[in-house]
Structure 1
C-alpha cells in the first residue's frame, strides 16, 4: 500500500492536491500550536476554516475587526488572522511604548517590511540591505531645509496652477481629486528630488506615481500565496525592471551629468541642493550604477507620494464638507504668508492648519494598524505576554476613537489640538508630527514616519475614490474664496 502511495506521488495533479490539502490542514490546526496566550478574534471559532474567513474579512474590513478586538481586550492583547499568517495586536500605553522601543534584533521593522512589501520583487532587495538613502534624507534635508522648503513651495504653486488653472478656463471642470493630488505631491517632492524641469515632466510624474500603486498591488497579491510560491509569483508580477527602464529615459541623463560634475568638482555640487546629487555622491560599488540610482529614486518616491496625497485628499474632503473652517484657516494662512512669505517660518506659524490636518489623520485613518514588527527571537512583554519567534506584532489605530484619549472621538473637531498660551497666542499641542501611544498615524518611537502600510488597502482606496467622485465635480476657479458647492 505504501509503494502504491509513493508511486502515485509521481502524478503532478496528485502531488499538487496533496500539498494544497496539507497547507489547508496546517492553517486549521496552526493556532493550536501558538506558544502564546493571546486570544484570536475576528471569526466564529466553531466555524470550519474559520481563520480563512477571518483572513478574508481582515483583507476587506480590518478596521472593524480591530475595533472589536480593542473594545474587548483594551489594555491587553489579541491577534487577528490574515490570509497566510497572524498578527498580534498590543494595546495600553505602557506596552505600546515597549513595542516601539524594542531593539531591531528583537522586533524588526525592516524584516517585517521585507516580508510585507515583498521588497525583493517590488522595490529591489538592496533598498533593504543597503538603505543608505535614509541618513541622507535625515541629515541633508534638515541642513538645507530653508532652501528646500522654498523650492517645494514654489513648485506646489506651479502644480496647483497646472491642475486647477487648466480646468478653470471654462469656469469649472470635473476631475478626480485623489488622482490629481498624487500628481501634485509627486511634482512637488520631485522638485527637491531631481529638480527642474524633470519634476514637472508629465511622463515622469506618471511613472513615479503609478510605481507606488504597482508595488502595493504586487505585494498584496504575492502575500495571498504560500511562501514557497512567492518567488514564482513575484517573478511573474513584478514591474520593477520595466519601470526602471521607463524612468531611466528621464533620470539616466541627469545621473550621468551629476557624475561628471562630481568628478570635476571633487565631490562638490554647485547647483541647487537635491536628493539625486546626494545619492550620486554617497552611493558606492554596484549602488553607484545608473540602474541602481534610478531604482533608488523610485523607492524614495514610493515612500513619499501616496501617503501624503491621501492625507491631503482627506483634508480637502473634510474642508469642503465643513465650510465653517474655511474662513479661519484662510485668514491664518494669509497672515502667515504676509508676515513671513513662502518660508519654513510661515509653515511653523499655522497652528489651526496643523490641528486640522492632524484631526484628519486621526479621524480618517490610513489603514487600521501601525506597520507590523517581526519577532526575530522569542521574548516576553512586561505584563507576561509571550511573543514567539517569527510572529508579527503591531498596535491598532483604534485608540484614535477612544474617549480616554479624545473626547467625543466620533465627532470631527478640526481645532481639537489648538491651545493658547498665557499671551493669547495659539499653538498646536502636540503638533501634527508629534507621536504618542495614542496617536500613531506616523508610527512611534525610533522609526516613526507616515505609515506606508494599509492593511485594508482596497477598502481605503475604494472609499477614497468614491468620495472623490462624489465631491470633486464642479471645482471652481473661486474655490479659494468660497466653499465648494455640494
Structure 2
C-alpha cells in the first residue's frame, strides 16, 4: 500500500479530498495530544517531531522500516525498555529477555489491545468481532474442543490433503509453474474447512474462496485502517476499498453458510417434536455452540474468526518452510526419509506427527528466522502494573515484547543462518528438549507468542502444517527459479513471505503410499 504526501492512504479517490481535509482539521489537536506524555524517562526510538501534528509521517516511516527501527533500538538501548510510535499507537517495547515478567500478568490485557488493533466493532471485521469476545469463546473452543480432538482429525486432514493436492497441484509428472503462496493458501483453507465444517462445506468452492481471501484481507484492511486516528475509523472504513470488500465477503459468507445453519435448526426442531435426541455434529459450528453455553453469538462470524486464526499464519509458515526446503535438497531428502519411517511405523496418528522431529525442527527454524511479526505479546494495562524489572506501566499503557532473542548470537549460534537440524539436535539435550518443540514457547522463541495468551491454536496449526508438508514433499518434486531471491515483505510489525513462483512435478516413484495408511 502506498501513502500520499500527506500520510493518508492513497486508496482515497481525488474527489474525496475535501473529506480528507475535514479529517485533518478535526484531527489536528486531538491527534497531537493523543501521543502520551508519560514515560518521558524511557528513550524514544522515533519520537514524532513537533511539526508532525498527526504523527502520520512518523507512522508512515514506521510502517516501512519497523524491523530496522527495532534493530537500531536493540543496539542503542542495550536491552532496556523503550518507546516507539507505531501504526498501533504509542507503545512501550519490552526486550525479549524480560518477556517472562509480563507473560502471565492478567492486568496486561490481550483482548483490550486486540480491540484497539483489529477494529472488531467496524462492519466487515465480523471475524475479529468473534475473536475479540470478552468471554474468550474462540479460546475455549480451540482449547476444549479442537486441541483435544487432534488424534481424531489427523486422518481426515490427510484425506483432504490428498484430494486438495491433486486438485490444485495436479498429478502430472512434468514440471509446471505455480504461484506458491496462492496454492498453499488454497490448500490450507481446504484443510482447515475440513475440520471446521466437515464434509458438507469443505469442498464448496464459494466457501473456500471466501475463507482463504477473507483471512488475508482482514489483516490488510486492519493495517490500512490503522493509518487513521482511531476516532475517525468508523467514517474512514466507508471510503477504503479493502474495508468495503470485507463487508461484501461477509455478506457472501452468510449467503453460503446460512442455509446450512437453517437446515440444522430444522433438524433439531424435528427431533424434539418427534421425541428423538437432537442430532450432533463433529464440526466447529457444533463446538462453538456447545462452548457458548447459551450465550448469543454470530455463527458466521465464528467461522470467519476461526478461519482468520487458522489460515493466514499457517499459510505463511507453510510457504516459508517450503522455500527453505526447496533450496536445500539434502535436507528435503532427510525430511522425506523421516516421513516414510514414521508413517510406515505409526500411520496417520497424532503421535506420528509428534515423532517427526526433523520436520518439526525445520518448521520451527523457518519460523525463527521469519515469524509473522517483529514483536509479540501486545498488551494493554488495565491498572498500574509494576514489573519485576522495575518498569511501571500505567493504566491504558500499551506494551509488547521484542522478538530480538530469536536472532541473538547469545541465544543461538550463527543466528542468521538457517539450520534445519538446529532444534532436532536440541531434542537430545535434557535441558533443552522442552524448548525444542514447534509448539513450545520461551523467551528464546516466541513465534507463537508466550505466556497466558500464547497462540491457543498452535497445536492444531502444527499438526495441520505437518500433514500438508508430508503430502507436498513426499508426493512432489519442487524447485525454484535460478534467479530466486528470498524476500520478506513488511508492513509495520507484520512480516510475510514474498510472493514466489515455484515449479512442481508429481514424483514418479515414492517410497510409501501415504494415502493407503
TM-score w.r.t. the length of structure 1 is 0.83
Shift of 1:431: 0.6
Indicate the residue corresponding to 2:39 in structure 1.
Answer: 35
Q: Residue 53 and residue 298 in structure 1: after superposition, are their counterparts in 2 closer, same or farther (change >3 A)?
A: same
Give the structure 2 partner of residue 201 of structure 1: 204
Aligned with residue 141 of structure 2, among 131, 136, 141: 136
Which SS does the other structure have where 2:296 is aligned? helix
For 1:8, the equivalent position in structure 2 comes to none
Paired position in structure 2 for 1:444: 450
Q: Give the secondary-structure state (helix, strand or coil) at the position aligned to 1:143.
A: helix
**What CA distance in whole angstroms lies between the structure 2 residues aligned with 1:216 and 1:346?**
33
Equivalent residue of 1:81, what SS?
Answer: strand
Aligned-pair distance for 1:447? 0.9
Give 1:158 deviation, angstroms: 1.6
Q: Aligned partners of 1:23 and 1:352: how far apart in 2?
A: 53
Superposed CA RMSD: 3.4
Change over 3 Å in CA distance of 1:25–1:461 after alignment to 2: closer
Is the alpha carbon distance of 1:72 and 1:464 closer, same or farther for their aligned partners in structure 2, counting shifts above 3 Å? same
1:282-321 mapped onto 2 (5 Å cutoff): 282-283=291-292, 287=296, 292-321=298-327
CA distance in 1, matches of 2:405, 2:20: 49
Cα deviation for residue 187 of structure 1 reads: 0.3
In the other structure, the counterpart of 1:191 is: 194
Relative distance call for 1:457 and 1:305 in structure 2 (3 A) is farther
Give the structure 2 partner of residue 333 of structure 1. 339
Question: 2:86–2:492: 8 Å Cα contact kept in structure 1?
Answer: no
Q: Which residue of 2 aligns with 1:110?
A: 111
Give the alignment partner of residue 155 of structure 1, picking from 153, 160, 170: 160
5 Å-filtered alignment, 1:117-132, equals 117-121=118-122, 122-123=125-126, 125=129, 127=131, 128-132=133-137
Deviation of the 1:258 alpha carbon: 2.8
Q: What does residue 26 of structure 2 align with?
A: 19
Gaps of 5+ in 2: 1-18, 459-487, 512-517
CA distance in 2, matches of 1:102, 1:459: 23
Residue 324 of structure 1 pairs with residue 324 of structure 2: no
> What residue in structure 2 maps to residue 181 of structure 1?
184
- Residues 429/173 of structure 1: CA separation in 2 closer, same or farther (3 Å cut): same
Check 1:191–1:281 CA distance in 2 against 1; reply closer, same or farther (3 A cut).
Answer: same
Pairing partner for 1:220 from 215, 218, 223: 223
What is the CA distance between 1:75 and its match in structure 2? 3.0
Q: CA 1:125 to 1:349, structure 2 compared with 1: closer, same or farther past 3 Å?
A: closer
In structure 2, the residue corresponding to 1:225 is in which secondary structure?
Answer: coil
- Identify the residue that residue 7 of structure 1 maps to in structure 2: none
Contact 1:112–1:392 (8 Å) recurs in 2: yes
Q: By how many angstroms is 1:20 displaced?
A: 4.2
Matched length: 452
State the distance in 2 between where 1:253 and 1:13 align.
Answer: 41
What secondary structure sits across from 1:120 in the alignment?
Answer: coil
* Mapped partners of 2:302, 2:230: distance in 1: 26
Q: Distance in 2 between matches of 1:433 and 1:246?
A: 34
Q: Does 1:348 align with 2:382?
A: no
Q: Secondary structure at the match of 1:476?
A: strand
Residues 79 and 86, structure 1, Cα contact 8 Å, conserved in 2: yes
Q: Give 1:16 shift.
A: 6.3
Please state which structure has a larger fraction of its residues in helix.
1
- After superposition, the Cα gap between the structure-2 partners of 1:102 and 1:115, relative to the gap in structure 1 and judged at 3 Å, is same
For the pair 1:363 / 2:369, whether they are aligned, the reply is: yes
Q: CA deviation at 1:211?
A: 1.0
Partner of 2:251: 245
Q: Deviations over 1:98-139 (max 9, x none)?
A: 111111xx2110011011011112126454244424212211
> Compared with structure 1, are the counterparts of its residues 420 and 42 closer, same or farther at alpha carbon in structure 2 (3 Å cutoff)?
closer
Question: Are positions 1:477 and 2:506 aligned together?
Answer: yes
CA contact (8 A) 1:375 1:389 kept: yes
Partner of 2:415: 409
- Would the aligned equivalents of 1:173 and 1:476 in 2 still touch at CA under 8 Å? yes
1:160-184 deviation per Cα after TM superposition (whole angstroms, max 9, x unaligned) = 1212116x37x23222110111111
Deviation of 1:380 (Å): 2.4
Q: Secondary structure in 2 aligned to 1:195?
A: helix
Does the C-alpha gap of structure 1 residues 398 and 162 become closer, same or farther in structure 2, counting only changes over 3 Å?
A: same
- CA–CA distance in 1 between the matches of 2:90 and 2:319? 32
Cα offset for 1:241?
A: 4.3
Cα 1:114/1:298, change in 2 over 3 Å: same
| Distance (whole Å) between structure 1 residues aligned to residue 309 and residue 246 of structure 2 | 15
In 2, the alpha carbon distance for the partners of 1:381 and 1:395 equals 13
Which residue number corresponds to residue 83 of structure 2?
79
* Larger deviation, residues 49-58 vs 83-92: 49-58
Relative to structure 1, the CA distance from residue 13 to residue 247 in structure 2 (aligned partners, 3 Å threshold; closer, same or farther) is closer
Residue 64 in 1 paired to residue 74 in 2? no
Distance in 2 (alpha carbons) for counterparts of 1:233 and 1:146 = 45
Q: Which residue of 2 aligns with 1:6?
A: none
